[in-house]
Structure 1
Amino acid sequence: MEEPHAPDYSHLPTDALLVVFAALFSPVSPSSYFAQEGLPLSTFIARWHAVGRVCKTWREALLAHPPPLYLEISTLPEDWIPWLATLPVRVLRIEEGLDARWSSLPNEEDEGQRGGPPGGMPGPLPSLQLVAGLEGAGRPAPFWSLAPFSGLQSLHLQAPVSSPMEPAVFDSAAVRDLQLLQQLSLGRFADFQLEHLPSSLRRLRLAYDGQTRTLSMACLPDHITNLDLLQLEKPGALGLCIDDCWSRVAQLDVRCRELLIGVPVQDRQLIATFERPYREGNFVPPHIWGDEEADDNSKQAAEMTANHFLATLPCCSSRLERLRLEGAAAASTKFMPVLPHGRASLQWLWSVVRLQGLHNLYGLSGHEMQARQQLFGDRLSFRYVPEHRPQACAIQIVRGRLHPGPEPAEP
């Protein structure tokens, strides 16, 4: 009896081949809460060559219709950059340790047939230290730019460990021409220059390294007004003027050890009452307060500011829907009355208390915020995770209904 013929995959229509290619070059793991995962560069190269060697039909279809690519790169040969830039790279993760597996590839076919870089893996160069826009990270002259990757939709860039003498600073000029970029995740930087961010951006993550000594977050440029998510991460203390964000960000996630929130108020007397002990007391830490009455009045002013913050959050915010605090900041958040956009006031207070931290300032814990639920139940919905679990406090702004709906899923 004659054996049935094996299927001839070389005659699959192009549409079917594109589905196969999309599956072969899709990320190994599903998307994370913020940034989508990708294929290690060596895995992508191996699969690219394997597909090209199946048959002429597959090779021609792959070259004519390359699938959207999701790549993770930790090392990159310079000769490959022009070729990669011609491909539809949608997600790019540049991080240390993503791709330690480099192997030799067959070299019997010529470059034109393969449609890719040379078969043998050249000695890869560390891309982390060479990307344009990464200042102070080891090399004065980056050898490649992100500008050719014009179709990029998601970028994750983690800086190498910076030193106090040579901190890593991200310059947003590196992504200025990426007009389709929607997600940008930046990790382990000492500071960020954000004035050239593309207006297409919808999700932004800024993670500071452990050596950062500044308090305030980097300034969002005026043209960034439509973020779905702003995620801030800092090992130490972080200062945030809430009115710099609440009209431009739908969800604000903050992960830090200490959080100082500047709350805009028009009452200059309230501001003066809060600041008096720091301006008139003994500024030699830890004896900041020299006047008990002024100290008590300052704490009362801070508590009034915290209540003002919760009372005005629903009506003053035109875009903010959810504020989520994680880590030690969820247990105690500090509040300071400032004039609108009072970044200078936050910096001034930080210069006074930085040697001993912010823990002596008035703090409203997540539990205390939740206890105020009865006061703001028709406008704010609180959720506080107890101490025996990773601490987190979420405030959901309720609009257009009398009772809050279900809490959004945790990331």
Structure 2
Amino acid sequence: MLKQRLSLGKYFGIGLYVHWTFGLLLAFVAFQSWEGGLAEVAFSIVIVLSVFLCVTLHEYGHSLAARRFGIGTVDITLLPIGGVARLERMPRVPWKELVVAVAGPAVNVVIASVLLVVLLTMLGSEMFAGLMVDTGAAMVGSESVVAESEAVTTPAMAEAAAEMEDASLFGPIGILSYVYTLALINVALVIFNMIPAFPMDGGRVLRSVLAMMMSYAKATYIASRIGLVCAAIMAVMWFAGDQQSPVPVLIAMFIAYAGMSEAKQVEVTEAVRGLVARDVMIQNPPSVSMDTPLATISQTWQSSSVAAMPVVSLAGTVVGILRLSTVSSSIQNGVDPATTAGQMADHDATIVRQHDSLEDVLPTLARNERQLAVVDASGQLVGLLDLDSLRIRAALG
């Protein structure tokens, strides 16, 4: 997913990205409003972009609140179903997680409040203008008030009064409609985000409250299960409804998947709390030199059971990780047998130092990183961290 994003810049020191599928959302919105003409299409797209500006501010609310507790944010990504702020980690202290979770919806409360003030101000001005036009039209109909020489202007005033009476204050297109719609959407965002569906904001609030009364792992487990129930209800409501927009069911799928994934991650993190990489690593793991050709690598791997091998330089320093899946696909695709391990290695793979805390390392890993090279202070290979057997090795210690 991270390689399919467009950078929108860096704000408050945090990179902002938009996923390519966001374009599909704009196309869908344009298609839905096409019958209303180009003006309605443009208005609908402006509404969507404005909503996602509010979503962006929402995510920055989380990020800046986390920064107050010394927790950085990797980046923020906008998806068709909303925004995702990747924090380096969630606060372990329940009340701090509560603050971070509430900070996002609090931004939407502020936005909604400002928009409602603007809306009421505009409504007051509109009503005043309408009153003046109505007064002018009434004067046109009174012979005792309007002189004959002034009657030239009365048809225009009468027409303006008629248009004012027929006009819809909240028509499909217009500044009042824009402010009104955006205010309502921000209110809806606050209500929706506070649904106790982990890992949404409301679910994190629930987890933080539960964690004040029980263990963090148990609180996460309960919150994730409640999130599953909420996701199931959302999916049922979508299937029972008009099913015009796929967004609700996509959000339900995200809640179910992300909630269970984080619950599993917390379970592992809690199991290795207080441990460093050296405590659970595979010592003296197999490795491959960066100049080893593919033909030799395939033969070497037949006698090894690991799913990935560290790739080392001639000096013994780790330069990347080579996965068995990469070797297999290279052979199947007919890659030149002379291709070296250095050419096939993932040079962006995370490299862990032997004294790094596992609590800090695990939350920062990409989803496909299951085996990590462990090095000493000079970058020399000393072990392999296998996430698939991590909990078992932690129990052995």
TM-score, normalisation: structure 2: 0.30
Q: Which has the larger radius of gyration?
A: 2
Bigger relative contact order, structure 1 or 2, given CA contacts below 8 A and separation 6+?
Answer: 2
TM-score, normalisation: structure 1: 0.29
Q: Which structure is higher in strand share?
A: 1
